[in-house]
Amino acid sequence: MAMYLKHFGFRARPFSLTPDTQFFLNEQSHRDALNTILVSLQHSEGFIKIVGEVGTGKTILCRKLLASLDQRFLSSYIPNPYLTPAELKGLVAREIGADVEESMPSDQLLIAINRRLLLLAKSGRQVVLIIDEAQAMPRETIEALRLLTNMETEKRKLLQVVLLGQPELDSLLDRSDLRQLKQRIVFSEYLRPFSVPGAKDYIRHRLLQAGVDRDVFTSTALWLLAKGSGGIPRLLNVMAHKSLMLAYGSGAYIVDSKQVAKAIVDTEESSRLGRLLALRWHLLWPILGGTSAGLLIAFKGAGGWL
């Protein structure tokens, strides 16, 4: 547990990288994606696709989705889809409680899955397969997944699929031999990085959920965090955590732009503009005295306003 918890008065680590739904921020991009999934599932649509860059919150969205589904849904979450077609079918069979044996031939396995899906549908249950990091799924396995979704009644699909992945997922689905699956994607959403106001709200939200309802970061520090992270939630967590550690180490109770600049410089994945800005600010700090005017000078030197 972080050493600074007691120092700042936190009940929990506000910037842990663990996808804890307590810290889920209902920001527009993520809210739209979650609402799209829930509405689509209510109407028994086939495939739903959610795409976002690394660190934009796909996994925590998965967890939030799972927590939002009621007893009508039987959900299966696959965090690592690098599976063979046989492994995928076996996993789905086990997750839905189909009566199968380990050495069962593929055609009999499909019959057993279909039989179980029909029984679940008759009892009012809806089966949802949620696949994270879907861009890593082999082409043959994607085709096996498509065939699984062929199972349906006259009224609805027996198996619904939510695909979450990095932008490479779009490239994968653009292949001509996967056009049948692409045509079945009913809804698509994209998780966007936070804007500067969105990043500030994200930081404040996590601080509040950790038990602190006060300004821990100065407004300038929040702005610099937003720029340095490029609005990527995971990078915001990393940089905010480092900034808190630096403030704690110096005995400070408020994080200012000096600590944030050091955290950005120490983070390899920081945005190019944010890193350049932080480097300039870090070097100019002794001269400019850590004022907002000094940060403005550093930013103008880094290429001007965006």
Angle between helices 272-288 and 257-265 (to 10 degrees): 130
21 vs 52 pLDDT, higher one:
52
Q: Which pLDDT score is estimated for 245?
A: 93
> What's the mean per-residue pLDDT of the chain?
85
Residue 126 CA to residue 95 CA, distance in Å, equals 13
pTM: 0.83
Q: Which pLDDT score is estimated for 44?
A: 74
| 184 and 214 part of one domain | no
Domain finish residue from 166, 191, 216: 191
Residue 58 lies in a domain: yes
Tokens of 183: 């045509």
| 184 and 244 part of one domain | no
Residue 82 lies in a domain: yes
Residue 121 CA to residue 159 CA, distance in Å, equals 10
| 103 and 208 part of one domain | no
Q: Which pLDDT score is estimated for 269?
A: 74
Residue 70 lies in a domain: yes
Residue 107 has pLDDT above 60, yes or no: yes
Q: Which pLDDT score is estimated for 287?
A: 45
Q: Which of 58-62, 98-102, 145-149, 277-281 has the lowest mean pLDDT?
A: 277-281
Q: How many CA atoms lie within 13 A of 130 on its CB side?
A: 23
| 143 and 276 part of one domain | no
Residue 89 has pLDDT above 50, yes or no: yes
For 185-219, what is each residue's pLDDT tens digit?
Answer: 888 899 999 999 999 999 998 999 889 989 999 99
Domain finish residue from 157, 191, 225: 191
274 close to 227: Cβ distance less than 8 angstroms: yes
Residue 250 lies in a domain: yes
153 vs 167 pLDDT, higher one:
167
Total domains present in the chain: 2
Q: How confident is the model at residue 306 (pLDDT cuts 50, 70, 90)?
A: very low
| 133 and 167 part of one domain | yes
Phi-psi region of 230 (alpha: psi -120 to 50; beta: other; left: phi over 0): left
| 51 and 163 part of one domain | yes
Residue 302 has pLDDT above 50, yes or no: no
Query: Tokens 């996967």 correspond to what residue?
Result: 178
72 close to 94: Cβ distance less than 8 angstroms: no
Tell me which residue of 90, 58, 84 sits closest to 190, measured CA to CA. 58
| 170 and 274 part of one domain | no
Max mean pLDDT among 94-108, 167-181, 292-306 falls in: 167-181
Domain finish residue from 153, 176, 191: 191
Tokens of 237: 């967590």
- The number of residues in the chain equals 306
Mean pLDDT for 244-257 is: 93
| 144 and 246 part of one domain | no
Q: What is the CATH number of the domain that holds 231?
A: 1.10.8
| 185 and 217 part of one domain | no
Q: Which pLDDT score is estimated for 160?
A: 92
Residue 61 lies in a domain: yes
Q: Which pLDDT score is estimated for 118?
A: 93
2 close to 13: Cβ distance less than 8 angstroms: yes
Residue 200 CA to residue 27 CA, distance in Å, equals 11
Residue 303 has pLDDT above 60, yes or no: no
Q: What is the CATH number of the domain that holds 114?
A: 3.40.50.300
For 156-180, what is each residue's pLDDT tens digit?
Answer: 888 999 999 999 999 999 998 888 8
**How far apart, in Å, are the Cα atoms of 291 and each of 37, 222, 258, 285, 297?**
45, 14, 10, 8, 10
Residue 151 lies in a domain: yes
| 33 and 146 part of one domain | yes
| 51 and 187 part of one domain | yes
Q: How many Å separate Cα 242 from the centre of its chain?
A: 21
Tokens of 71: 């007893």
Q: Which pLDDT score is estimated for 236?
A: 93
Residue 226 lies in a domain: yes
Q: Which of 21-35, 109-123, 264-278, 287-301 has the lowest mean pLDDT?
A: 287-301
The DSSP result for 152-175, as a single string, is B-SSSBSEEEEEEE-THHHHHHTS
| 155 and 234 part of one domain | no
Domain hosting 219: range is 194-301
234 close to 17: Cβ distance less than 8 angstroms: yes
Residue 152 lies in a domain: yes
